[in-house]
Amino acid sequence: MFDDQSILVTGGTGSFGHTFIPMLLEKYNPKRVIIFSRDEMKQWEMAKKFQHEERVRFFIGDVRDRDRLYRALDGVDFVVHAAATKIVPTAEYNPFECVKTNVHGAMNLIDACIDKGVKRVVALSTDKASSPINLYGATKLTSDKLFVSGNSYAGAHGTRFAVVRYGNVMGSRGSVIPFFMSIREKGVLPITDERMTRFMISLEEGVELVWHAFEDMEGGEVYVKKIPSMKMTDLARVVAPEARHEIVGIRPGEKLHEQMISPEDSHFTYEYDEHFKILPAINNWGTCEKRIKNGRKVPEGFMYASNTNDEWMSDAQLQAWIDANW
């Protein structure tokens, strides 16, 4: 699908980009891959890893800057939107900045992709966008809605938008496993609440979900990967068996359990072997056979949450991941 095509990744110097780019170059033969981000130091460090790869380009820019996006998207076929203000406490204490990036940035990208004739766009979302209780989740829910509606906004231009949603990405920058690994020698790990659970997904699985969305989408779908859950106390025990757990309380805007599909979403949600698909409630797209394909309608009131998940990650599975990645 991506052979001889141009792909741009916003926020491409983040954890997702560092996994997506090598996987893309290994599986496909794109014409060029453009890393669009605002941090020159991260671009410089990443460029060293691809110094002998002529297909990889770097473009300094911010999704808040509409004009810069127009320049960067010239001749681009596909876009992965990974740029976001993501840290929950940071968003709570800097709400205007979070809105500028996650909401205004999404609007800028949608406009620019339509006007520049981009074929397909996949935006990365988060569990926190489902029944949000914090500003980050609220801005990502808004972003999701914007990308879904972008398919109507595009009109006859042909640009199509979809969203992928997943939970805690194992090993991503700022996530819990690298944090616990960095402090485990101290012998004490902070646990916000001993009941807390989280979905667990690898970066590679996240990339594969994005690829599936590009191939499957008609426009407006939200793809949710089926992934295992784990209690934070169990995760801490695997990372540092001898460490003591210190209960520190939930941070501002933090959830006890993750949710990726709400009961309200169940009316338009379909199940597949390896994922769920939330269809848009607008324009009768929720009953569109091209979007449903071979999906099975979930029961009314269905909810996909980390504490009621059918699949749980075992200690051995987590240890195997740590051994392979650390």
* C-beta separation of 101 from 85 below 8 A: yes
The catalytically annotated residue of 128, 140, 225, 277 is 128
The residue among 266, 247, 265, 244 whose CA lies nearest residue 256 is: 247
Name the H helices within 28-81. Answer: 40-49, 66-72
Does the annotation count 145 as an active-site position? no
Burial of 163 (0-12, 13-18, 19+ CB in 10 A): buried
* C-beta separation of 257 from 305 below 8 A: yes
Pairing between β-strand 296-297 and β-strand 269-271 as defined by DSSP bridges = antiparallel
CB atoms within 10 A of CB 244: 10
| CA 46 vs CA 15, 52, 85: distances in Å | 11, 12, 20
| CA 24 vs CA 21, 173, 223, 306: distances in Å | 5, 20, 20, 30
* Catalytic residue IDs: 128
